[in-house]
Amino acid sequence: MSASLPTRRQELRELWKLALPIAIAQAGQSMMSFVDTAVVSRVGTQALAAVGLATAVFFAISSFAMGLLMGMDPLVSQAFGAGNPRRARGLLWQGSYLALSAGTLLAIPLVVVPRLLPRLGVDFAELPQLQDYLDWRAPSLPLMLLFINTRTYLQSAALTRPLVVATVVANVFNLGADILFVFGGEGLPAWFGPLRLVPAMGVKGSAIATLLCCVLQWVIVTSAVRQIHVPGGVPSVRPVRADLLQAARVGLPIGLHIAAEVGVFSLAGVLARWLGPESMSAHQIAISYASLTFTVALGIGNAGSVRVGWAVGARNTPLARRSGMVAFASGAGFMSLCALLFALFPRQLADLMGTPAEVIPLLVPLLMVCAVFQISDGVQGVGAGVLRGAGETQFTFLANMVGHYVVGLPVALLLGFGLKLGVVGIWWGLCVGLTAVALALFWRFQRQSSGTFQPLEA
């Protein structure tokens, strides 16, 4: 096995060949939310707070399903690593059934939960806008999960160009659709024709734009699947109970871990709203920036997951270890550059988003906290990916539960409310939690890769 082990430089080159387009695709997903925030922020603080709360609710509910679909990652990449593309294509179909069922089921509470909030004593002024947003965002969930499932198959097959194409096209479309649906077409030149009749829809218009982008992305990546040749013909497209159960068994801890991670950030958003709409707006803009940089680290983690999965499928543990460690170093290096950006230009970043004047004094300190936790955020994002590629998913869930809820959340409550540091104190708690998770995942991969990885379908 050691004879086939590439040098660190070779591994770095191969990792980034795969990671760059995946990172672009990941960043593109976050860029759409970033643009939504930038456009809606020009409507006003209340609209921005509504989008922030709606986004928190959407990802708190949908994150479990997103993680469940990521259970396909090690299965598909290990199938390609074992030289079995027919098995990988079969798993694509099983993942599609899983995406449709989970997405449809979880779209229901997205519509119902906001209408229950008044009965729970929540009387925020932006609740009607939150309900409008989620009514139109809910149908996008099954489409988003189908896209994630198809993306997993394409990146495992090293066919990443369609992911970049889908991302670029969707982002260009999203920018125009956001501006049109949020502000209306009344002010457009006459040659825009019927588009001038589109009314201003505010927050709801942003959700409609996102829904249309999800349709567009899924159509593009689905058409690309035909480019992958399957020796022996395409396998049966019927649901296979054993495959669905296996995918759910692998994906369940991933879903729980992502739900735990997204849940603590969503909870931080709700806590910020209790401090006032200005705090919620500052949180929403800061989390948009943090999510944008994190998606690149997540793309590196996904590339690491694929390369580790290939190595595990080929029963080459030394290569899996090298792939994972190079991914860790790449993630930490990139996020260090992002940390410098946040630390040196917080006011410029606030101005770039069109931040209301009353929000800027809260936002600038949050961006400084962002600078501090960038490396931890990158390491834990990569760590989850490389462990997932090896089929190790349960420890990641436990690390997130302990790191975020046993360590980070109590610190956030103590600093934010006990010591009256407000939203900045809440974010320092998030920073502590992320650091604890990052250290745990790095230790786990080092320990596990010192032994021998076994394929999930051995």
| CB within 8 Å of 172: residues ≥ 6 apart | none
What are the angstrom distances between the C-alpha of 30 and each of 12, 70, 113, 369? 25, 18, 24, 20
Domain count for the chain: 1
pTM of the model: 0.81
pLDDT for position 130:
84
95 close to 241: Cβ distance less than 8 angstroms: no
Domain-embedded: residue 58: yes
The model's pLDDT over 301-353, given as tens digits with 9 standing for 90+, comes to 999 999 999 999 989 999 999 999 999 999 999 999 999 999 999 999 998 88
pLDDT for position 151:
93
- As a whole number of angstroms, the distance between CA 370 and CA 376 comes to 10
pLDDT for position 124:
66
- CB atoms under 10 Å from CB of 186, counted, come to 10
Residue 229, classified by CB atoms within 10 Å of its CB into exposed (0-12), middle (13-18) or buried (19+), is: exposed
| CB within 8 Å of 322: residues ≥ 6 apart | 5, 6, 8, 11
Domain-embedded: residue 62: yes
Query: In the numeric block, which tokens belong to residue 415?
Result: 């600093």
The model's pLDDT over 159-184, given as tens digits with 9 standing for 90+, comes to 999 999 999 999 999 999 999 999 98
pLDDT for position 123:
66
* Residues of the chain scoring pLDDT < 70: 1-4, 120-125, 458
pLDDT for position 8:
86
pLDDT for position 3:
46
Domain-embedded: residue 260: yes
Residue-number span of the structural domain to which 64 is assigned: 2-449
What are the angstrom distances between the C-alpha of 4 and each of 7, 148, 269, 387? 10, 32, 48, 22
Which three-class secondary structure string do you get for the chain?
CHHHCCCHHHHHHHHHHHHHHHHHHHHHHHHHHHHHHHHHCCCCHHHHHHHHHHHHHHHHHHHHHHHHHHCHHHHHHHHHHCCCHHHHHHHHHHHHHHHHHHHHHHHHHHHHHHHHHHHHCCCCCCHHHHHHHHHHHCCHHHHHHHHHHHHHHHHHCCCCHHHHHHHHHHHHHHHHHHHHHHHCCCCCCHHHHHHHHCCCCCHHHHHHHHHHHHHHHHHHHHHHHHHCCCCCCCCCCCCCHHHHHHHHHHHHHHHHHHHHHHHHHHHHHHHHHHCCHHHHHHHHHHHHHHHHHHHHHHHHHHHHHHHHHHHHHCCCHHHHHHHHHHHHHHHHHHHHHHHHHHHHCHHHHHHHCCCCCCCHHHHHHHHHHHHHHHHHHHHHHHHHHHHHHCCCCHHHHHHHHHHHHHHHHHHHHHHHHHCCCHHHHHHHHHHHHHHHHHHHHHHHHHHHHCCCCCCCCC
Domain-embedded: residue 454: no
Amino acid sitting at position 83: G
- As a whole number of angstroms, the distance between CA 191 and CA 198 comes to 14
pLDDT for position 98:
94
The model's pLDDT over 266-315, given as tens digits with 9 standing for 90+, comes to 888 888 878 888 898 889 889 889 988 898 899 899 999 999 999 999 89
